[in-house]
Structure 1
Amino acid sequence: MAKISAVEKNKRRRKMVNRYADRRAALKAIIMDKNRPIEERFKAQLQLASLPRNSSKTRIRNRCDVTGRPRGYYRKLRMSRIALRELGNSGLIPGLVKSSW
């Protein structure tokens, strides 16, 4: 089980990313537009840099929804390999069969 503080910090980051998504997208569009004057693009770049760091999508860490574990994460199932194995062995994941050969 992961530290509750780490899981909560990640939740706060997700909320902040959603809150600033439109603003960041607009500023990035201005920065990438080569037809705009360089002064306007530079001003937009400074505004983007002044936004909170945790509002960037790359700051979010994929964590298991069951345990909060940050490593061994399956995106499709949104859980770690360990939680997947435990739930699969107890028959709680439909269609998952333990392999044997």
Structure 2
Amino acid sequence: MSKKCMINRELKRVQVARKYAMKRTELKSRIFDPSLSLAEQQKAIYEFRSLPRDSSVIRQRRRCCITGRPRGYMRKFGLSRNKLREAAMQGDVPGITKASW
């Protein structure tokens, strides 16, 4: 099980990213707009850099919804490989069986 502080940090990153999503897209469009003057583009760059780092979606990490484990995450199921295996063995995940040949 992952530390509670790590899970809470990820939740905080999601909230901050949602809060600043519109502002980020608006500033990015102003930065790459060729019709604006260089001074206006630089002002937009300065404003963009003043945003919190966690407002970027790239800083988020997918985690297992049960344990919070960041590695071995299966996006299709929302579980880490360990919990996916346990759920498959119990028959909780439809369509998945243990391979045997």
> TM-score surpassing 0.5?
yes
Question: RMSD in angstroms over aligned alpha carbons?
Answer: 0.8
Q: Deviations over 1:58-78 (max 9, x none)?
A: 110111111100001111212
Q: Deviations over 1:2-34 (max 9, x none)?
A: 001100100010011011000000000111112
Q: Deviations over 1:39-96 (max 9, x none)?
A: 1111001001001111111110111111100001111212111110011111111111
2: CA distance between counterparts of 1:33 and 1:99? Answer: 54
Structure 1 runs (4+) greater than 2 angstroms displaced = none
1:97 corresponds to 2:68: no
Count of equivalent residues:
101
Partner of 2:78: 78
Structure 1 residue 35: deviation in Å? Answer: 1.8
Structure 2: where are the runs of 5+ without partners?
none
TM-score, normalised relative to structure 2: 0.96
